[in-house]
Structure 1
Amino acid sequence: MTGSNHIKRVAAPRTWPITRKTSKWVVKPTPGAHSEERGMPLVVVLRDLLHLADRSKEIKQILQEGKVLVDGRVRKDHRFIVGMFDTLSIPAINANYRVMIGDNGKFKLVPIKDASVKLCKIVNKTTVRDGKIQLNLHDGTTMLASNDYKTKDSILIKVPERKIDQHLNYGIGSMVFVAAGQHAGEIGKVKEIKVVRSSSPNTVIITTAAGDFETIEPYVFVIGKDAPALEGVGA
């Protein structure tokens, strides 16, 4: 099988928790909010992580019947890209999950009770028409807000309404989740932020019960102050 809708399994992002040698090809996600490295197609989530069915054809049927919601909205495209902190709901079996990164650097699904809130990191801000502030978020989405929010802060968003529910500030003492790199999946508190005077990203010293480690700011997501503000993080 060839074509732009598939990629070789051996070439798939290492974040995808799939077998590499059972077959040659795997579905490629539709371009969307998340990058291919930071997301995976819905069919892979339902088949390879949840094991709802063994074949893509069966997964497509489940989706066409409107039985799966991502961030509170029905998604029928089997190639729809799903990424970190997204919520996945299957009302027919009363199941909700949050997409997370495990300590092996691969995606995993964490069962949750409340799928009405997701976390987004503010990657930058822009000024748009009429001087309004637009927040550009890690999942590729945007939203208008006041200028009280800073780059690298996180926000909790009610879904599917997409209303800000809580503001989580980035700084010394913030509780953070590491999304990539050698320490992927770890949680700790920011001890020090090292500003790099070059095009390279700033680095962060994070302290945990097991000791301190250093990573780069793009890998760090604020998840709370003294405890995670979001269900399913750190599970």
Structure 2
Amino acid sequence: MGRRGPPKHLKRFASPAFWPIPKKAYTFTVRPVPGPHPIDESIPLLIIVRDILKYAETASEAKKIIKRGEIFVDGRVRREEKFPVGIMDVISIPATEENYRVLPDPIKGLRLHPINKEEATFKLCRIENKTTVKGGNIQLNLHDGRNILIKVTNPTKPEEDVYDTLDTLKIGIPNQEIQAHIKFKEDNQAIIVKGKNRGLYGKIKSIEGPIQREYKTVLLEDYNGNLIRASVEYVFVIGEDKPLISIPTW
């Protein structure tokens, strides 16, 4: 009888290059469970606790910390050591009063950026697509697997539907209340989350290409005046006049 379900093991050589683990020390490493982020765009919680934050020396010690409920992701306790943490997720450790936001890094792929307590109360989510559900209401499907339902008073003329794909929502965590809506348009601030220019950020100068989303490109101007071109799929809007989140300087 063949194996059922997805693979349960992951060799270190096959793990994403940005995971901060020695590739030759051991054969296997922790494999993320299916969750809000794909394996090549996330880091398992165990690796964050042991290898990035250095709260533990072994996987066993890291598991105990996580199982005790000392690690919060987006305002909720996560007791699964294989939980995948990805772009814009907020990690909080009440015992040490530390908070981090996961951001793209030009060299490391992903990094934990320290943030203050106030900034840890919200996160940014990109609208990947939207659908019309029962009653004419609008369901927004976000980049981290969340779904937010927008109530519509008149389905024939949905005035509440002001959201477009690739727009960004500032939502409170863990209540998921929409606090702000940032349009994907020229002159807004954005950060590149994939590709060779991952982690670079600046102002959107132009959006070019045909109607089809997969063929569109964005011309971004960073704060040094350099122009960067990237696919719209790689660009994440983070503010209007200025970013809503703190950004590390490279």
Change (3 A) 1:106 1:162: same
Aligned to 1:196: 210
Root mean square deviation of aligned Cα: 1.6
* Aligned-partner Cα distance in 1 for 2:180–2:68: 34
2:142 to 127, 137, 141: 137
One-letter amino acid of the structure 1 residue matched with residue 128 of structure 2:
V
Q: Percent identity?
A: 38
TM-score (norm 1): 0.93
Which 4+ residue blocks in structure 1 deviate beyond 4 angstroms? none
Residue 217, structure 1, aligned to residue 232, structure 2: yes
Change (3 A) 1:197 1:164: closer
Asked if the contact 2:214–2:233 (Cα under 8 Å) also holds between the matched residues in 1, the reply is: no
Q: Please state how far the C-alpha of 1:94 moved relative to its aligned partner.
A: 0.9
For structure 2, which runs of at least 5 residues remain unmatched after alignment?
1-5, 151-159
TM-score (norm 2): 0.88
- 1:42-81 matches, cutoff 5 A: 42-81=45-84
One-letter amino acid of the structure 2 residue matched with residue 162 of structure 1:
Q
- 1:145-224 matches, cutoff 5 A: 145=150, 146-196=160-210, 200-208=214-222, 209-224=224-239
Aligned to 2:131: 126
Number of aligned residues:
232
Q: Which has the larger radius of gyration?
A: 2
For structure 1, which runs of at least 5 residues remain unmatched after alignment?
none
Asked if the contact 2:129–2:141 (Cα under 8 Å) also holds between the matched residues in 1, the reply is: yes
Stretch deviating more after TM superposition (7-16 or 93-102): 7-16
Asked if the contact 1:15–1:38 (Cα under 8 Å) also holds between the matched residues in 2, the reply is: no
* Cα deviation 1:35-89 (Å, max 9, x = unaligned): 1112121101111111110111111111111111000001101011111100001
SS at 1:93's partner residue?
A: coil
Q: Please state how far the C-alpha of 1:201 moved relative to its aligned partner.
A: 3.0
* Aligned-partner Cα distance in 2 for 1:187–1:96: 22
* Aligned-partner Cα distance in 2 for 1:160–1:217: 28
* Aligned-partner Cα distance in 1 for 2:89–2:105: 15
* Aligned-partner Cα distance in 2 for 1:106–1:150: 28
